[in-house]
Structure formats: C-alpha cells, structure tokens
Copies of this chain bind each other. A is one copy, B any other.
Amino acid sequence: MKNNITLFDIADSLGVSIGTVHRALHDHPGVSPMTKTKVLQMAKTLGYRPNLAARYLSQKRHLRISVNTLKGTTSFWDEVRAGIEAAAKSSGMKIDVEYRTYPGIGDGEKEAFEAALEAKVNGIILFPSRPGDLRRSMRMASRSRTPVVCVATDAPGTGRLAVVSIDTMASGSLAADLLGRILKGQGKVAVTLSDLAITEHAEKVKAFKNTLASLYPAMNLQAPVEDHDIESEAYEKCQKLFRDNPDLAGIYITTEASIPALRAARDAGMLDRLAIVTTDLFPALVDEIRSGAVTATIYQRPRTQGLMAFRVLHEFLVEGDCPSFQVTLAPHLVMRGNLDFFLKRVSFESSPNYRTQIQNA
C-alpha cells in the first residue's frame, strides 16, 4: 500500500493520462461518463488525497475575498477583522482582503454585498444584519458559485457555504446558571435583547428561560425587554423595568448596547444590589466589570470567529470542499478574575529575535 497516491498513480493504473484524471475529479467538461466513473472509482479505492502544496503552487491566481461587516462602533467587528487578517497572514498564501462596511443594521448591506459580487471576489465573509434583505443577493452568489461564510449570525435558506457563531444555547444557559448560583435560586430576574425576531437573540433568551426553569424553578423571570438596538429605547425600557420591579435581583443583558441599561440601573439606585451578566467586551464595559457593577460578561470571541470564518472559506477555496458547515464556538465567561487575560493583547514584533507571547483567547 503506497502512502501517497497521486494523479499519476490513478492515471497509470487505468491506462489514461493525468489530464483526464484531473478533469474527471474536478467535474471539468471533456471526459466521457464511462472513464469518469472509472476514475472516481479508482480514486476512492486507492484512497487518493490531493496534495495541497502542489495545488497551491500550481494555481497562480491570487485569491480576493470581501469582508462585509458593520462599521465598528463597538470593537467587536474590529476584532473580527483582526482575526481574519491574522488567519490570512498565517495561511501562507498571498490573499487580498477587501473590506466593505456599512453604517448600521440593514443599512447598505445589500449594496455592499452586490458590490462584492460585482467585483468578482472569490469569496465573501459576511455579517448578515438583516438576513431577509440579503436572501435574493445571496441566492445569486450561490448560483454564481461564490462561497459566502456568515459570521455571528446565520442566514438560513440562502445557500451560504457555512456559518461561524457562538453557541447561543450555551450563552443563555450559562448566564442563567450563573445568576441562579449567585442569587441562590431565589428572586426575580429579567433579560434584555434587541429583537425577538433575530434568531440568535431569541435563542439565547429561550435557553436562559429554560435553564432557569429547570435548575432554579423558584426564580421568577420577567418578560423580555426589547430595545431594537436603540440606546434611548434601551434606557427607557430598563428604567421602566426597574421602576416596576424594585425587587429585581438580576438581569441578563444580551444587547450589544449594555451601557444604557447599566446607566438606568445606576440612576434607579439598583446597581449594587443587582447581579448583572452582559454580552461582549468593550472599553466602557471593562470599567463596569472592574468596578464590580457587572458580575460577568459573555465574551463572544470575535477574533476567533473571524479566524475560523477565514479558515473555512480558505479551505473551501483551495481544497474545494468544506470541513464543516456550522462552526460553533464556546463563549468565554469573563469576570474580574480573568479580565486581564482578555485585555492583554497580542504584541507582534517583526524581528524574529524578540520572543513574543501569543495570547490565544
């Protein structure tokens, strides 16, 4: 048994040429159905695995990918982009990454997507802020064989190649378990989210609710607060929540805009008797965690998400097939205790003489 089967081996054992074998394996035109099946058969029995190095080497076209994300008001998307950048660098290939950003949820994302298609990029990494708006464009991409990898949010039924995201169930359940433990299974808790129509948020809330019900049945969950990603709405609705429930013991904020909610709690004088679990990690939130106001935050590992998204896309582009269509990451729970770890960031030195330390969250 040879350990490394090549195109030549297949061709040789069938008495055809490597050109034919190549065409057969890649669905290229110009090979009869008979020989094609024979080649595929032989490839399988011999256990052919393409040599990626040779493949990289022979294809001189250099890849261009488009990264379509929200213009980073928070640092989340900056981190995602940093992860993509890092993965691209370590891939060993020369890859052009074009960034297309759009100002807000559903604002210009269709245009950005179509611009990327227009520019004939080889692949797209996308945050679908309004999956519905993109459905038609993404179907077009699918037809024109342009792979699309979604980050953070899925866009079902659009023919996207893969999705990279945080496990929403784990996020919601973890928040519930943590609050339950801290509150000793007693008291009233609430949850905020941007919109129940967004699958990810709805799932988190559902998991939160279910876990609370099964592990801490004595606890009392209020109706979810929707803020539609509008700061003023978040503040006002939380204000009302705190006024109506002066005995509230804990709150799980899945919203990106957690600061207004915290402000409302502070203004209501409830900050220090409230157990608070938030989502994501950004400078303003760091202060709140360090001061103890926020018990913990569920860190969605944007850098890793970007990294994985690139890897999946890249693997598809060079290997031709995709290792997985759904990459689910475990969220990190960040508290005061391990906060510093997440703040220390990679410091690259170009000189190989300097010993660098990589923190891999």
Contacts and interface: CB of A to CB of B under 8 A. Distances in A.
Given A321-B352, A328-B359, A358-B328, A92 B52 contact: yes
A322 to B, nearest CB: 8
Contacts of A275: 181
B92 A337 contact: no
Interface residues of A, number: 61
B338 A173 contact: yes
A323 interface: yes
Copies per complex?
2
Contact of A177 (B92, B94, B176, B336): B336
A45 interface: no
Interface string A190-224: 00000000000000000000010001000000000
Interface of chain A: mostly helix, strand, loop or mixed: mixed
Contacts of A282: none
Contacts of A249: none
Nearest to A356: B324
A51 B324 CA distance: 28
Interface in A155-183: 167, 169-178, 181-182
A325 B173 contact: no
Interface stretch (A34-42, A53-61, A138-146, A257-265): A53-61
Nearest to A208: B337
Interface of A: 3-4, 51-57, 62, 90, 92-94, 167, 169-178, 181-182, 211, 215, 275, 292, 295, 308, 321-333, 335-338, 340-342, 352, 355-361
